[in-house]
């Protein structure tokens, strides 16, 4: 079974798309011995070497010229130049004589126009999305997020024949989380250990903002600080942590599930990490760092599974400190956050690799 992923990562795009694709790639490799390749564009802050380090082949698309100061510039480029991306992707298919059983597309810049042109090259196409803002031509659509109307979000964006995998029961979790869930802690609401993680790039610099708040707390609280290798301020963050005996710096970790299990509270961004926290019942404070996190974070917050401080531009260190201080003083609030978070993910379903099951049933 040959599987190809079309996904990008960069300073502005972030690392979440690649990380969830790697999770699915590893599941397919483990469960059905799939031969997996990635096609990625050479963008600033990409994870191409990280994908290779995980044992997968990467075919690289050429660099492009974009306005680095504009967060939306990369997606505007794809909107105008999607035909170029199709041509370059098709060229790689032909060059390496790919016979593709499944093409997985996880990219906000690509839509039905791109997918229609690429469809003849693959038996099946799977799209991973969470925006529900454009049409798709695909056989499967995965949106692992929970929204108030999540079952109807794509009814006018895909064909009736498309198999829709919607909601957190289809969440893609790395094997380390499935293992960690077997030793999941029963939390008493007391905060002794705080985990700070704002994704692989943290382009809005929330980590430093949060550390300024953590520095105001009692020093008997352990603070684990995790950054990705693409974080431009990782050296500054490491130096900051070195100044405090209770701050511990971690870069591009492979034991995130262990750190989450040890934590009593997490402070971080929305997105994929939301489901990792919920799966382990980890209480959290969420700061929104991108538009695509607004609806998800708001829904999870209304369910009572996280505290939503709002968009990063409007959140200060003082607000973070006050939110943490309130939870320290009210352990029952922390316990309730944990209980509500756990209810959003059905462990019995997630632990059976439901996405891989659906893919294999359809391909057979």
CA–CA distance, 147 with 299 (Å, rounded to integer)? 6
The answer, yes or no, to whether residue 88 has pLDDT greater than 90, is: yes
Nearest to 197 by CA among 169, 237, 166: 237
Query: 103: which strand partners?
Result: 4, 125
Pick 44 or 125 by higher pLDDT: 125
Walk me through the domains of the chain, giving residue ranges and CATH numbers.
Answer: 2-171+348-363 (3.40.50.11190), 176-344 (3.40.50.2000)
pLDDT of the residue at 69: 56
pTM passes above 0.85:
yes
pLDDT tens, 264-286?
Answer: 999 999 988 999 999 999 999 99
- Backbone φ and ψ for 307, nearest 5 degrees, come out as -105, 120
Percent of the chain whose pLDDT exceeds 90: 84
Cβ neighbours, 10 Å, residue 99 = 9
The tokens describing 293, both together, are 């996190």
- The pLDDT of residue 48: 97
Tens-place pLDDT, residues 229-255: 889 999 999 999 999 999 999 999 999
Give per-residue pLDDT as tens, 165-188: 999 999 999 999 999 988 878 889
pLDDT band at 66 (very low <50, low <70, confident <90, very high): confident
Q: What is the mean pLDDT of residues 128-139?
A: 96
pLDDT for 243 equals 97
Mean pLDDT of the chain: 94
Look at residue 186 in the predicted model and tell me its pLDDT: 84
Specify the pLDDT at position 70: 65
Distance, in Å, from the CA atom of 224 to the CA atom of 352, rounded to the nearest integer, reads 31
Q: Which tokens go with 167?
A: 């909601």
Among residues 113, 121, 47, the alpha carbon closest in space to that of 84 is found at 113
What pLDDT is recorded for position 181? 87
Mean pLDDT of 37-52: 95
Q: How confident is the model at residue 68 (pLDDT cuts 50, 70, 90)?
A: low
11: which DSSP letter?
A: T
Burial of 329 (0-12, 13-18, 19+ CB in 10 A): exposed
**361 CB burial (10 A radius; 0-12, 13-18, 19+):** exposed
């Amino acid at each position: 079974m040959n599987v190809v992923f079309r996904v990008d990562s960069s300073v502005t795009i972030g690392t979440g798309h690649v990380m969830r694709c790697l999770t699915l790639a590893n599941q397919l490799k483990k469960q059905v011995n799939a031969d997996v390749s990635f096609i990625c564009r050479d963008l600033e802050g990409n994870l191409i070497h990280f994908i290779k380090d995980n044992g997968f082949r990467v075919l690289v698309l050429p660099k492009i010229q974009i306005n680095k100061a504009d967060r939306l510039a990369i997606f505007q480029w794809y909107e105008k130049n999607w035909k170029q991306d199709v041509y370059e992707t098709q060229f790689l298919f032909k060059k390496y004589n790919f016979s593709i059983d499944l093409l997985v597309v996880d990219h906000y810049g690509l839509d039905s126009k791109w997918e229609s042109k690429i469809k003849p090259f693959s038996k099946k196409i799977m799209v991973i999305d969470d925006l529900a803002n454009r049409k798709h031509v695909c056989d499967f659509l995965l949106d692992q997020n929970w929204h108030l109307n999540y079952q109807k979000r794509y009814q006018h964006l895909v064909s009736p024949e498309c198999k829709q995998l919607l909601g957190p029961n289809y969440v893609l979790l790395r094997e380390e989380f499935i293992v960690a869930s077997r030793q999941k802690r029963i939390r008493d609401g007391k905060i002794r250990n705080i985990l700070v993680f704002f994704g692989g790039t943290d382009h809005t610099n929330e980590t430093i903002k949060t550390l300024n708040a953590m520095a105001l707390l009692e020093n008997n609280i352990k603070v684990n600080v995790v950054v990705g290798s693409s974080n431009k301020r990782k050296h500054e963050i490491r130096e900051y942590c070195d100044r405090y005996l209770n701050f511990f710096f971690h870069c591009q970790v492979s034991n995130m599930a262990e750190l989450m299990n040890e934590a009593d509270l997490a402070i971080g961004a929305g997105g994929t990490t939301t489901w990792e926290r919920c799966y382990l019942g980890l209480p959290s404070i969420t700061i929104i760092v991108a538009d695509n996190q607004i609806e998800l974070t708001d829904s999870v917050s209304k369910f009572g599974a996280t505290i939503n401080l709002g968009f990063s531009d409007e959140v200060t260190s003082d607000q973070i400190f006050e939110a943490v201080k309130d939870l320290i003083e009210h352990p029952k609030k922390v316990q309730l956050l944990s209980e509500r978070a756990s209810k959003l993910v059905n462990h019995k379903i997630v632990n059976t690799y439901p996405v891989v099951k659906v893919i294999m049933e359809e391909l057979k």
